[in-house]
Amino acid sequence: MILTLAYGAILLSLASACFALLQTRFTAMVFLLLGLSGALAIAAGIGELLDQTVLVDNLKLGLPWQTWKIRFDGLSAFFFLIIGIAVFAVSFYAPHYTHNEQKNPASFAVLSLFTGLFIAGMMLVLLADDAFMFMIAWELMSVASYFLVAFQHENSANRRAAFLYLLMAEVGALLIILAFGVVASFADGFTFDALRASQISTTWMSIAFVLALMGFGMKAGLVPIHVWLPEAHPVAPSHISALMSGVMLKVALYGLIRFCFDLLPEVHWQWGVVLLIVGTVSALSGILYAMMQQNLKRLLAYSSVENIGIIVMVLGLSMIFLANNHKELAALGLLAALFHAFNHALFKNLLFLGAGMIHHQTHELNIDMLGGLIKRMPKTSVIFLIGCMSISSLPLFNGFVSEWLAFQTALQVGVLDNGVLRSLIPVSAAALALTAALAAACFVKVFGLIFLGVPRSRHAEKAQEIKSFGMLAAPAMLAGLCFFFGIFPSVMLDFLGGVTNHILDAALPQTSVLTPLWLAPVSMQQASYSPLLILVSVLITALILFFVLHGKGATKARIAPTWDCGFGALSPRMQYTSSAFTMPLRRIFATVFLIDEKVEKTMRENTKLNVADVRYSLHIQDHSWVHVYQPIERGVNRVAKQVGRIQTGNIRTYIGYSLATLILLLWVVSL
């Protein structure tokens, strides 16, 4: 029954893709099918999470001797739920958002076709139970999303971004195939069951782990192999970036978790250390780069790098505990990581949809050109504010709960025997604290400069609230979920307890309490958090304050012009801009960035003091471009040139090559 729902979700998204090809006038049908697909995926996910029995099936598709093995367990169901929520929200949002594309049937057909294929691909990845099917679904997801990134291909920068994305996706896929191949060579077959039973040596297992980490990490956006993210996310339509950032990165994490925790027969603490370090570096550099961005969607893309980093870091913790035989703490770590993945899917989806709304109304994504939207788009601003508060991990919102759980996991380090680990983990916990604090600074900048203050451009000044119900309802629903899971995290944590139990074969610590009222991951005596009680006390305190100060005797506030220090005429240009806001941090963390800052002054009448005109330009580049990518690119070019030498263009030489190859092969065969 549950599996039928899951199949239904996939078929409906494929149906939506096919329907788009018909190019009829009923474009609403495309989104209706997509919405139903999302709803079915949610139902399938929740059903399986409640039930927690492993469902297997064998579809007679694909090659005759290699049929598709299907397996739907708690972990798949959890990620299925994430996809379902995102697709459901997007199906409400997209009809109005894409109304310009709908005028051109051909381009709309392309967009919807690949959206449907992309979603179906992601869902199939989660259902796959053998490496073949996994890779086919993975490629469907990657290639379909390439076409979505390249959708606005009129612009050459977009084509370049899309090509970079495709390149990284394919190199990543190659590494994943190799990782599967390494394990499969010690196993009998490519099914996941065979891989689980493989008799693989520790060395080869470590090689497989590194390959998988690089392959899945490339898709998920771990530093330093994250560069496609900030290029590809801004150029795709916003609802697609929401799906890519909110969901596709999670599918990559699913792959990593499935491969490391489920398929490989055992884990080693050294791998955990690798994940911990890679995650910490990704989290910190992700948020620092995010802070420096002016383009809202680029900023959000870098912030995804940060959040994926946090998740990988907590996975590393979990792995360290697992390898040291503290299974209950490993379960806690995995729980925290999965919950953060869920939360990130919610608020990142919300923020990308919000970015789309801002772009739709102002045709502007540059933070420095916006401002004052809180008065012009009041509903959007409240929704976006909730997203910003969740991602800044403020108490009462969902992002806080998962970071709190991550801290609690890290603080259990005392049980470990290894002194190096015991000092390394607190340092990464402090890095997590720094990341969270920087994220708050970053999203103060985002919300403050976009929605508050005075408009910095005519577009922002003329902006109007969104009229379409669906376009507001989708992010509003996500905002509601962010708040709901911030107050009642136990709803999701209960589900996740079952998932970790199944994957790690270990339950949470026996004394842990995860009820709607209390959260105490280890025991009630050690640490507890009660979002509901805090919410109630916030409401009571705020009400008392309000009635005391706003009661009958209170004077009404007077509205007056802003104080201008007596100089007169404040202008919007006097406000802090994005680069001004982040200047102190840019200076403090100067070594993290490649900063190219220029101030050009033109002087009046050849004097030294009388400045006529100042031009300021700031360009910040990612270290990994210059130090990882460009050397690789140069190397590839050099090798290609060397190889090019044997291509003389002379047909007789080529015949000679063929003959030589033939003789060589004959010799090999005769051995």
Partner 1 sequence: MNWTIAIFQTVLFVALAPLLAGFLKFCKCRLQNRRSPSFSQPYRDLLKLTRKQPVISQDASWLFCVAPYIIFTMMILAATVIPLIAVDMPTSESADVIVLVGFFAFARFFLALAGLDIGTAFGGMGSSREMTISSLAEPAMLMAVFTITMTASNTDLSGAIHHILNEGATLHPSFVFALFALILVAVAETGRIPVDNPTTHLELTMIHEAMILEYSGRHLALIEWASQLKLMLYGVLIANLFFPWGIAQSFTIGALSFALVALVLKLIVLSVFLALAETVVAKMRLFRVQEYLGFAYLLGLLGMLSHIILESTR
Q: Please, which of residues 517-576 interact with partner 1 by CB under 8 A?
A: 524-530, 533-534, 537-538, 541-542, 545-546, 549, 554-563, 570, 572, 574-576
For residue 146, count CB atoms less than 10 angstroms from its CB and return exposed for 0-12, middle for 13-18, buried for 19 or more. buried
Nearer to partner 1, 66 or 530 (CB): 530
Instruction: Decide if 226 contacts 303 (C-beta within 8 A).
Output: no
Tokens read off for 178: 């190799």
Interacting positions 379-408 with partner 1 (CB under 8 A): 389, 392-396, 400, 404, 407-408
Contacts of residue 666, defined as CB under 8 A and 6 or more positions apart, other chains included, come to none
Residue identified by tokens 């996809």 is: 83
Amino acid at 629: Y
Give the Cα separation of 158 and 632 in Å (integer). Answer: 22
Return the number of the residue (252 or 429) whose C-beta is nearest partner 1.
429
Interface residue with partner 1 among 372, 489, 497, 509 (CB under 8 A) is 372
Contacts of 484 (CB under 8 A, 6+ apart): 491
- Minimum CB–partner distance for residue 304 and partner 1 (Å): 20
At closest approach, how far in Å is the CB of 443 from partner 1? 8
Contact status: 375 vs partner 1 (CB under 8 A): yes
Residue 28 in the binding site for partner 1 (CB under 8 A): no
Whichever of 234 and 333 has its CB closer to partner 1, that residue is 333
Query: Toward partner 1, which CB reaches closer, 279 or 372?
Result: 372
Separation CA 642–CA 469 (nearest Å): 60
Shortest reach from residue 549's CB to partner 1, in Å: 5
Tokens of 216: 């899945």
495 Rama class: left (phi>0) / alpha (psi -120 to 50) / beta: alpha
H or E segment at 58?
strand 55-63
Q: How far is the CB of 318 from partner 1 (least distance, A)?
A: 19
Which residues are registered as beta bridge partners of 599? 616
- Binding positions for partner 1, 454-493, rule CB under 8 A: 454
Decide if residue 294 touches partner 1 (CB under 8 A): no
449 touches partner 1 (CB under 8 A): yes
Contact track, partner 1, 500-519, x by CB under 8 A: --------------------
Comparing CB distances to partner 1, the nearer of 49 and 438 is: 438
| Residues in 245-284 at the binding interface with partner 1, rule: CB under 8 A | none
CB of 492 to partner 1, least distance (A): 19
Which pair of tokens denotes residue 57?
A: 């099936």
Minimum CB separation from partner 1 for residue 292, in Å?
13
Q: What are phi and psi of 641, to 5 degrees?
A: -65, -40
* Contacts for 506 with CB less than 8 Å, ≥ 6 apart: 327, 328, 330, 331, 500
Segment 114 to 173, residues that bind partner 1, using CB under 8 A: none
Alpha carbons 49 and 91: distance in angstroms, whole number: 24
Least distance to partner 1, CB of residue 27, Å: 37
Pick between residue 544 and residue 636 the one whose CB is nearest to partner 1. Answer: 544
41 or 367: CB nearest partner 1: 367
Residue in 109, 445, 486, 498 binding partner 1, rule: CB under 8 A: 445
Shortest separation between residue 373's beta carbon and partner 1, angstroms: 10
Query: Which residues, numbered 414-443, are part of the site for partner 1 (CB under 8 A)?
Result: 414, 417, 419, 422-423, 426-427, 429-431, 433-434, 436-438, 440-441
Write out 458-482 in H/E/C secondary structure. Answer: HHHHCCCCCCCHHHHHHHHHHHHHH
- Could you tell me the CA-to-CA distances from 248 to 12, 160, 243, 346, 367 in Å, in that order? 19, 21, 6, 13, 26
* Minimum distance from residue 328 beta carbon to partner 1 (Å): 15
Beta-bridge partners for 617: 598
Residue closer to partner 1 (CB basis): 89 or 290: 290
Stretch that binds partner 1, among 36-44, 181-189, 447-455, 646-654 (CB under 8 A): 447-455
Residues between 581 and 600 that touch partner 1 (CB under 8 A): 581-585, 587-588
Stretch that binds partner 1, among 136-144, 194-202, 315-323, 450-458 (CB under 8 A): 450-458
Nearest in space to 222 (alpha carbons), one of 161, 310, 135, 291? 310
Residue 445 structure tokens: 């900048």
615-634 binders of partner 1 (CB under 8 A): none
| Cα–Cα distance measured from residue 117 to residue 552, given in angstroms and rounded to the nearest whole number | 61
Region 75-94 residues binding partner 1, contact defined as CB under 8 A: none
Nearer to partner 1, 277 or 396 (CB): 396
Nearest Cα residue to 474 out of 350, 562, 573: 350
Radius of gyration from C-alpha coordinates of the chain: 27
Whole-angstrom Cα distance, residue 33 to residue 299? Answer: 32
If binding means CB under 8 A, how many residues of this protein chain bind partner 1? 80
Residue 3 or 452 having the CB closest to partner 1: 452
Distance separating alpha carbons of residues 511 and 211, to the nearest angstrom = 38
Per-residue CA distances from 247 to 81, 89, 240, 637, 656 (Å): 10, 12, 10, 35, 52
Amino acid present at 478: L
Closest to partner 1 by CB, 469 or 547 = 547
Give strand pairing partners of 130: 191
Closest approach, Cβ 481 to partner 1, in A, equals 20
Provide the minimum distance between the beta carbon of 599 and partner 1 in the complex, in angstroms, as a whole number: 18
312-371 residues near partner 1, rule: CB under 8 A: 371
178/583 with CB nearer partner 1: 583
Beta carbon nearer to partner 1, 129 or 328: 328
Nearer to partner 1, 197 or 545 (CB): 545
